[in-house]
Amino acid sequence: MNKDWNDYLLSLGYAPTSDTAHNDTAGAEHDKAENTDIICDLSHYSQVVIAGDDAVSFMQGQFTNDVALVDEDNSQLSAFCNNKGRMLANFRLFKHQQNYFISLKSDLVESSIEHLQNYVLRAHVAIQDVSEQLIHLGVSGKNAVSLLSPFIEDIKQDIDSVSHSDNYIAICVASAQGDTPRYEIFCSPDDAKDLWQKLSPQVEVVDPSSWEYLNIQAGLPFIDSKTSGEFVPQMVNMELLNGVSFTKGCYTGQEIVARMHYLGKLKKRCFKINIDTEKRPHAGDTLFAENARAGQNTGIIIQAEKNPDSGYDALAVIQIADSEAKLFLGDAEGPAVAVKELPYSFDTE
């Protein structure tokens, strides 16, 4: 995280790395995130630039989505996999000034760069962590467009669209056409200070965990180091979120992903759940089904955040066959788990 930016937030009494999910204010913070205009720091994500004459062809050979569809007006969700088709990271890909950027969980940056470097070979490609140069913010709420308009004149409102000004990049990650609009903002530290100073008196300033709570409600799963290498993209609904192309051609792990799509029967999916507990569950924690064999888990949590009313909401990859069974966190003696409705549908037949 940029030290100057971190010091600035601390001077305002905002602790960007705090985790309100561990204390009693988390529910109230998340309620604000759902029902009011908010701003928050997103430094728990990092940005990696992929540049060079061969950047597009390189990414096409690694990423699950069609990089050719990304331009300065359109971003996309994507991922890269190991040879077994298991996602090592998933992220948002966008383009700015001829360079490509991926935004992913910060604890995956080092391993992601190392993995991708293994495939560069003789390609003219440079891969670098640029999180120190780009500040990452989140703005959400029914008035998000009007709040951002002084900084970006023509703000696009379609999901995955990218809006630009001289100083700001704004990516729409939830659209007003069926949801509360949400934007991820990328800018320099000085421009981030200017935006924060002007917006914070007009909105609620919330903890970064509130952004993850909104991602859970939207069914947007972002894996971290605890779940890296666990899932093929379809298990976390990536193809339902326009994060996978089945027509773009080969990439590392593509045969497994394509076989699952065309020939296989998907046995696991990402579900939204509520866990009846006041103790925070963590990514990588397992779920147990009533009829499961002893010691055999039926699911893995991707991310979890405090529900304002009760328990913890989470996204978890679960055996489809067990999604209607009685579920528990950890084992049969653990807290009860209830499957909730996602804002999009999938076929579990």
- In the chain, residues under CATH classification 2.40.30.110 are 267-342
CATH superfamily of 267-342: Aminomethyltransferase beta-barrel domains (2.40.30.110)
Give the total residue count for the chain: 349
Confidence grade of residue 175 (pLDDT, cut at 50, 70, 90) = confident
348 pLDDT higher than 70: no
Q: Which residue has the higher pLDDT, 15 or 17?
A: 15
Q: What is the pLDDT of residue 64?
A: 98
1-265: what fold?
Gyrase A; domain 2 (3.30.1360)
The rounded percent of the chain whose pLDDT value lies above 90 is 86
Q: What is the pLDDT of residue 264?
A: 77
Q: What is the pLDDT of residue 27?
A: 83
Q: What is the pLDDT of residue 176?
A: 60
Q: From residue 114, how far is each of 26, 78, 85, 91 by CA, in Å?
A: 35, 18, 18, 16
Q: What is the pLDDT of residue 233?
A: 98
Distance CA 210, CA 274 (A): 16
pLDDT digits (tens, 9 = 90+) for 188-223: 999 999 999 999 999 999 999 999 999 999 999 999
Confidence grade of residue 295 (pLDDT, cut at 50, 70, 90) = low
- In the chain, residues under CATH classification 3.30.1360.120 are 1-265
Give the three-class secondary structure for 255: helix
Structure tokens at 104: 């992913």
Arithmetic mean of pLDDT over the chain: 93
Structure tokens at 346: 């999938």
pLDDT digits (tens, 9 = 90+) for 228-241: 999 999 999 999 99
Q: What is the pLDDT of residue 141?
A: 96
Confidence grade of residue 22 (pLDDT, cut at 50, 70, 90) = very low
